[in-house]
Every structure is written in C-alpha cells, then in structure tokens.
Amino acid sequence: MRTEQIMKKIDLITGFLGSGKTTFISEYADFLVRAGESVAIIVNDYGAINVDRLLLEKTLGDKCHLEMVIGGDPDCTRRRLKTKLITMGLAGYTRVIVEPSGIFDADEFFDLIYEDPLERMFEPGNVITIVDACFINEQISFEQSENKDTEIRYLLASQTAKAGTVVLSKMDKEMADKSDDSVNIIKNYVNNCLKEFKCARQISDLYIWKTGAVTDQDFSKIFTSGYHSGEMIKLPVTDSNSFKSIFFFHVKTDVNKLEDTIKRIFDDSKNGRLIRLKGFIQNTDGSWLEVNATSRMVNISPITVGQELFILIGENLNQERIGGYWDEYRNTL
C-alpha cells in the first residue's frame, strides 16, 4: 500500500546586503525549535567564504542543522543549492530555512523548488523579507543626488513582492521620535519600486523588528504569513559587473582604531560604493572580534571563534586603494 509523502515546508529569508537576515534567522529558528520544529538552515553567502554560517553557529549552537552553499557562478550555485535541498528533503527535518545572498531575485527560489524532485519533497512555507531602514534612507538620499540605481530598486521590489511578512530592521537606530514618518517614507519607497516594475501589490504593513524583543505571539504570526504571487517585470540578476565582493585575509591593523579605519573606508568615495563589510579579526590578546559594518554603523563585538578575513561588498570597489588602509594583508588564504 502506497503511503502519502509528507511535504516539508521551506522558508525563504531574503533581504538586501547587510539588512540583518542572519540575526533574524537566529531568532526565528530559535522560536521554531521551541515550537517543536526540526530545523535545517542553508546559508548561501555572497562570496566564496561563508561568514554568516559562523555567526549562526555562535548563536544557535547545535539547536539546528547548518549547511553552507559555497558561492560561485549562478548556475553552479543553483546546482549546489538544489543538491543541499535534496539532502535536507531526505532527512527528517520538518522545516528548512534558506538564506540566500543579498544579490538575489526571489523568483529564483520558486523556480527551483518547483523542479523535480524538489516539488515532491517541499512546499513553500513563508517568504520573509528584511528591509534595512538605514539603507533605504541612505538610498533615498543617494537618489536625490545621483541617478536611480535600477538594480537595487529591482532587487528590493522582487524580494518584497512575494513576502508574506516584510520586516523592517534597524528602526531602533533611526529617529525614534519620528518613527511613524520614517516608516511611511520607507513604505512609500518600497511601493514605488514595486510600481516601477509593474507589480500590482502594494505593501500596507511593515513589521518593525527590534532585535531580541520579538514575542512568540509575533513570531507565530510571521510563521503563518505565507507568501504572495507578486507578479512583476523580470530582469536578469547576476553578480554583475557593478556588484562585487573583495576579500582581505590575515589583516593587520591597529584594533583600537579599527572602527575609525572602517568609517574612513566607507567615507572615501574613491574606494567605490561600499555597502557592507563583515568578517573577523584577532584582538591583541589573541581573542576574536566579529566586525559587521555598513555606511551608517560599525559593530565590533567579541566572538568565540573566527576566521582571519574581511569581506567587502559593494559597487565598483577599488581593492588596491582599500588595501592601503590596512597595515598588512594577504589576497589569498
């Protein structure tokens, strides 16, 4: 007698570079585990070395199974992700979370899981999109003095169009006394991006996320929010000529002045348009520090284990010029 196969849910947690996907996943996955789910997480970071997996291991420990998809060209990455999903589908996990690169068209997610044999293993659960309030405000200011960045606007539209929940991150770093105005400005910007690419959907609600303060009741609503069809004009999205990631290994610099150095790297327009810097460096006492930076914030905090590298992500980056800010570094491991 044939037994009906139980379809497993797969969630996509998407968002632009530096929006806070990894931090959100650590909190969301913790909720799922406490709710009785058996959770696997697949991380596909931008670039060949996966910092985000180390950060998830730090916060989640052995609560969830973590897998990594090493970056490569789009076709290669797609094949690797499909292989990982097949493996997860054959295992006993009830919920799989996929964290893609920040340069990611959400349509690719649905195209993939409707391929054989994944369509017999999985069904879409939730699409949760993290929108960085700081980055959107910066983008609005950038577009007032420069031309519109079509690729960024398209990525934002494609990721929010299908989201069951749009999560607004880093609002606690914005103007608290003008939070309503800030939310409306950001919502209007997102909706204008959707209109630009002929998406009929308009976002009515944004969930304001404060790190570490999401209640189980709120997570339950997010957990059942599902996804939208979000039909829109489709453009090719790749790790394009403008977007790139550059790597600095075994960086030597004055750790006491690290925050200032990173701020100067972001502020120097001759370096290119730097969007995100992340990685690890050893402190003077041999302990590890985690570094996570955007143009608006630099977070440096202790971490148990690290890897001697910085990954910088942005547009038209000048690696040689940026390298001049370090006392010493290597281009390879």
pLDDT, tens digit only, all 333 positions of the chain? 444 567 899 999 998 877 888 889 989 999 999 999 999 988 876 544 556 666 677 666 778 888 888 765 677 778 888 898 999 888 889 999 998 876 677 788 888 899 999 999 999 999 999 999 988 988 888 888 777 788 889 889 998 999 999 999 988 654 444 567 889 999 999 999 999 999 999 999 999 998 888 999 999 999 999 999 889 988 765 544 466 778 899 999 999 999 999 999 999 999 998 988 988 899 989 999 989 888 878 989 898 877 888 989 888 899 999 999 999 998 776
Burial of 284 (0-12, 13-18, 19+ CB in 10 A): exposed
Q: Which residues contact 262 (CB under 8 A, 6 or more apart)?
A: 277, 291, 293, 298
Cα end-to-end span (Å), the chain: 55
- Write phi, then psi, for 267 (nearest 5 degrees): -75, -20
Spatial distance between the Cα atoms of 115 and 106, rounded to a whole number of angstroms: 15
Spatial distance between the Cα atoms of 33 and 30, rounded to a whole number of angstroms: 5
- Count CA atoms closer than 13 A to 291's CA, side-chain side: 26
Spatial distance between the Cα atoms of 135 and 156, rounded to a whole number of angstroms: 11
CB of 144 within 8 A of CB of 137? no
Q: By C-alpha distance, which of 149, 197, 112, 180 is closest to 16? A: 149
CB of 156 within 8 A of CB of 41? no
Residues of each domain in the chain carrying CATH 3.30.1220.10 = 243-330
What is the per-residue pLDDT for 19? 85
Classify each residue of 295-304 as buried b or exposed e, where b means 16 or more C-beta atoms within 10 Å of its C-beta: bbebeeeeee
Eight-class DSSP state of 5: P
95-99 and 39-43 strand pairing: parallel
Which fold does the domain 8-223 belong to in CATH? Answer: Rossmann fold (3.40.50)
Spatial distance between the Cα atoms of 296 and 305, rounded to a whole number of angstroms: 26
What is the per-residue pLDDT for 89? 87
What is the per-residue pLDDT for 130? 95
Strand segments (E) across 44-112: 65-68, 95-99
Residues of each domain in the chain carrying CATH 3.40.50.300 = 8-223
Compute, in degrees rounded to 10, the torsion defined by CA atoms 274, 276, 279, 281: 50
Which fold does the domain 243-330 belong to in CATH? Answer: Hypothetical Protein Yjia; Chain: A;domain 2 (3.30.1220)
165-169 and 95-99 strand pairing: unpaired
- Count CA atoms closer than 13 A to 232's CA, side-chain side: 30
